[in-house]
Structure 1
Amino acid sequence: MDTRELLTDAFHRIPELTRSLTDGAGSELLHYRPDRDANPIAWLLWHAARVQDDHVAALAGREQVWTAQGWMERFDLPFDPQDIGYGQSSEEVGQVRVEDPSLVVGYQDAVTAMVDEYLATVDDQELGRVVDDAWDPPVTAGVRLVSVIGDVMQHLGQAGYVRGLYERRG
């Protein structure tokens, strides 16, 4: 297995997990918050897809799927088009409403297709390209991809935990 295949495998686990987290989910489950400041599944999945879209589109030098394919209009959220959820207040988190899980699954699928297009171009030179020299050591495209995978998997794990809490409540 080469690096491109490894990255593709990791990124393809994300839509599979997104589907399993939304399987049979209704509005109550998608928006359940274990406490008033907890992130609900709808927000966690939206944010995970937005992070991938934002970061990989920047690596690829292309417009985000969010704006290029009309997902921003479909979600109809009261946020800036470039907002990915980072640093949002509890009130803003609560504004992410997804009544139909196919919306977040569809967006994730579109993001995965864009990631696939970028990964098809990736070679050792691209992985070593410095994309942020504000860090020591500077961040390369390869490090950014691993960072995105780690961040997204962490949020999907949080969504799984929230789903478990919802399903176990009395």
Structure 2
Amino acid sequence: MDPRGVLTEAFGRITELYDGVADGLDYETLHHRPGGTGNSIAWLLWHLARVQDDHVAGLADGPQVWEEWQEKLGLPNGTDDIGYGHTSEQVDAIRISDPELLVGYHHEVTLATARYLETVDERELEREVDQNWDPPVTAGQRLVSIIGDCLQHLGQAAYVKGLLAA
């Protein structure tokens, strides 16, 4: 399997796991914050989709899917807000009426990711995309970082869902 195939497989698994976590959630479970201060499933799913959307759009030098979806989700968060560094109040403000809206948004992000991955070759993976690090970050490293972040937050969301189901 070539690198494009591996990346496509990894992002496909993220989508499967995302759909599984979102399946069967009611409003209360979606927004419950463990201990009153932890991240809700809604916030975790929103955040990981936002990170993937923001970072892949940056790699592809294209628009974020969020530009079309923030109104559908009823959130005022602009394209610069991916949830990083959110206060407790900001986490609590992420309220989604229906988890299927999150799934729809993430599916659109997945399609945008797939379109970008169709362009990926060895040269693209080696392209430096962030000079703020030493050594600079390449597109390949950024993709691996996105995958790791998404999987970490999906694990957190699945854990919270399991706690609430017990």
> How does the TM-score come out when normalised to structure 2?
0.97
Distance in structure 1 (CA, Å) of the matches to 2:97 and 2:75: 13
**Aligned counterpart, 2:28:** 28
Tell me if the contact between 1:26 and 1:99 (Cα under 8 Å) persists in the aligned partners: no
Q: How does 1:106-121 map to 2 (within 5 A)?
A: 106-121=104-119
Considering only aligned residues, what root-mean-square deviation do their CA atoms show, in Å? Answer: 0.9
Amino acid aligned to 2:27 = S
**Aligned counterpart, 1:131:** 129
- Structure 2: gaps of 5 or more residues: none
Deviation at 1:98, TM superposition (A): 1.4
Identity %: 58
Amino acid aligned to 1:53 = D
Distance in structure 1 (CA, Å) of the matches to 2:51 and 2:41: 15
Distance in structure 1 (CA, Å) of the matches to 2:21 and 2:57: 25
Deviation at 1:82, TM superposition (A): 2.0
Distance in structure 1 (CA, Å) of the matches to 2:149 and 2:102: 18
Q: Answer yes or no: is 1:5 the counterpart of 2:5.
A: yes
Deviates more, 1:110-119 or 1:92-101: 92-101
- Structure 1: gaps of 5 or more residues: none
> How does the TM-score come out when normalised to structure 1?
0.95
Deviation at 1:85, TM superposition (A): 0.6
Tell me if the contact between 1:18 and 1:45 (Cα under 8 Å) persists in the aligned partners: yes
Tell me if the contact between 1:45 and 1:159 (Cα under 8 Å) persists in the aligned partners: yes
Tell me if the contact between 2:74 and 2:96 (Cα under 8 Å) persists in the aligned partners: no
Q: Match of 2:46, SS? A: helix
Tell me if the contact between 2:52 and 2:146 (Cα under 8 Å) persists in the aligned partners: yes
Q: Answer yes or no: is 1:99 the counterpart of 2:97.
A: yes
Distance in structure 1 (CA, Å) of the matches to 2:36 and 2:99: 22
**Aligned counterpart, 2:19:** 19
Amino acid aligned to 2:113 = V
**Aligned counterpart, 1:38:** 38
